[in-house]
C-alpha cells in the first residue's frame, strides 16, 4: 500500500538534556517500512522556530523547503531552536556553540529514525545555519551531502563588517556619510554586546547573548571547509546583502569533495528575488512572496541526484 506524505511531531534530547521539538516530514512511500533519504534543515541566526519564523517575521524557509522535498521523495527534520516554539528553555542565554551542539544532536537523532535511510542523509543550512551545516558535514559521519544557502567562508567578524558596508550603502542620504555612520554604530553595538556576554541584546533586531556573538565573531568556517569530502551545493544570491557571494569561490576552492556553486543574480539573502536594488527595508514586502521556485528546484534536483545515487 502506498503511504501518503505526512508530518510527525517529534521530540528528542540534546547532550545537556534539553528537550527539543520539531517536525519530521515524510514523502510518499511504497510501504510503511520503506526507509527514505532525509535532510536536516537548519535555520539562520536568531530565535527562529522550526519553520524559520519569529513572532514578528515569517520567513518560512525551512517549512517551504520541507514541503518541496517531500514531493521529490526526500524526508526532512526541522526543529524549534531551544527557547523557541515548543523547545525550552531560553534562547537569549544560548551560546553559538551550544546552538551548534543542539543542531548536531538533532542530526544524530534523525539518523536513528526508523523511516530514514541512515546511509543517505543530507544537511541544508541557511545563513548561520549554513555555517553549522559546514561543521556538521566536516565532522559527522552521517552526512553524505551538504546544501549551503547563503554560506559565509570567513570569520563572523568579517561577515558582519561586510554586512554593515553593504547595508550602509542602501540607506537614504549620501553614501559616504550614512554608510560611515551606520558602520560605526554597528561596530560600537557589537563591541558593547560582547563585553557583556550574559546580557541579551541585539545588533539587528533579533535578541542574542553576548556569548553567542563573541563565539560567532571568532568562528571561521574556513577551518572546517577542507574537511568536507561529501558533495556540496552552495548557492548565494547576487543581491545578498548579508553574505558576500564571492565566498562561493572560497568554498569551492577549499572543500575536497565535488562542489557545485551557483549565484542566481536576483536572489536576496531571504531567498526571494527582486529586480530592484536590494535593501533591508524591502524584506517585509519580499516576504509576501514565497521562497524562490527556481532555488527550490535547484536544491531538490541536486539532492535527488545526490542522495539517490
Residue 307 binned pLDDT confidence (cut-offs 50, 70, 90): very high
Angstrom CA distances, 43 to 118, 129, 219, stand at 22, 5, 18
Q: Is 90 exceeded by the pLDDT of residue 204?
A: no
As a whole number of angstroms, the distance between CA 244 and CA 163 comes to: 8
Cell of 78: 526541522
CA dihedral angle for residue 286, residue 289, residue 291, residue 294, rounded to 10 degrees: -100
Per-residue pLDDT tens digits for 205-236: 567 888 899 999 999 999 999 999 999 999 99
- How do the domains of the chain map onto residue ranges? 6-155+219-300
54 DSSP 8-state letter = -
As a whole number of angstroms, the distance between CA 198 and CA 280 comes to: 28
Query: What spatial distance separates the first Cα and last Cα of the chain, rounded to whole Å?
Result: 25
As a whole number of angstroms, the distance between CA 89 and CA 66 comes to: 25
Closest by CA position to 63, among listed 24, 115, 12, 116: 24
- What does the pLDDT read at residue 112? 97
Give the CATH class of 6-155+219-300: alpha beta
Q: Is 60 exceeded by the pLDDT of residue 203?
A: no
E-strand spans in 93-160?
116-126, 143-149
Strands 75-79 and 19-26: antiparallel
Amino acid at each position: 500500500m502506498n503511504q501518503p506524505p505526512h508530518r510527525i511531531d517529534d521530540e528528542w534530547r540534546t547532550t545537556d538534556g534539553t528537550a527539543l521539538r520539531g517536525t519530521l516530514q515524510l514523502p510518499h512511500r511504497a510501504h510503511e517500512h520503506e526507509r527514505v533519504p532525509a535532510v536536516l534543515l537548519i535555520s539562520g541566526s536568531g530565535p527562529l522556530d522550526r519553520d524559520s519564523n519569529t513572532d514578528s517575521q515569517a520567513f518560512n524557509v525551512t517549512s517551504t523547503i520541507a514541503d518541496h522535498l517531500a514531493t521529490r521523495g526526500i524526508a526532512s527534520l526541522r526543529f524549534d531552536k531551544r527557547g523557541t516554539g515548543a523547545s525550552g528553555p531560553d534562547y537569549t542565554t544560548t551560546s553559538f556553540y551550544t546552538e551548534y551542539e543542539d543542531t548536531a544532536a538533532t542530526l544524530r537523532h534523525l539518523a536513528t529514525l526508523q523511516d530514514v535511510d541512515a546511509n543517505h542523509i543530507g544537511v541544508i543550512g541557511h545563513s548561520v545555519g549554513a555555517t553549522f551545516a559546514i561543521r556538521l558535514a566536516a565532522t559527522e559521519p552521517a552526512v553524505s551531502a551538504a546544501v549551503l544557502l547563503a554560506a559565509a567562508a570567513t570569520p563572523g567578524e568579517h561577515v558582519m563588517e561586510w554586512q554593515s558596508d553593504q547595508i550602509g550603502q542602501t540607506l537614504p542620504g549620501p553614501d559616504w556619510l550614512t554608510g560611515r555612520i551606520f558602520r560605526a554604530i554597528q561596530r560600537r553595538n557589537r563591541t558593547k554586546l560582547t563585553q557583556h556576554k550574559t546580557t541579551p541584546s541585539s545588533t539587528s533586531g533579533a535578541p542574542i547573548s553576548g556569548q553567542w556573538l563573541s563565539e560567532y565573531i571568532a568562528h571561521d568556517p574556513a577551518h572546517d571547509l577542507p574537511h568536507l569530502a561529501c558533495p556540496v551545493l552552495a548557492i548565494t544570491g547576487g543581491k545578498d546583502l548579508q553574505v558576500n557571494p564571492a565566498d562561493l569561490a572560497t568554498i569551492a576552492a577549499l572543500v575536497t569533495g565535488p562542489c557545485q556553486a551557483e549565484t542566481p543574480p536576483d536572489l536576496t539573502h531571504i531567498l526571494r528575488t527582486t529586480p530592484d536594488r536590494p535593501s533591508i527595508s524591502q524584506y517585509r514586502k519580499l516576504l509576501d512572496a514565497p521562497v524562490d521556485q527556481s532555488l527550490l528546484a535547484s536544491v531538490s534536483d541536486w539532492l535527488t541526484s545526490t542522495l539517490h545515487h
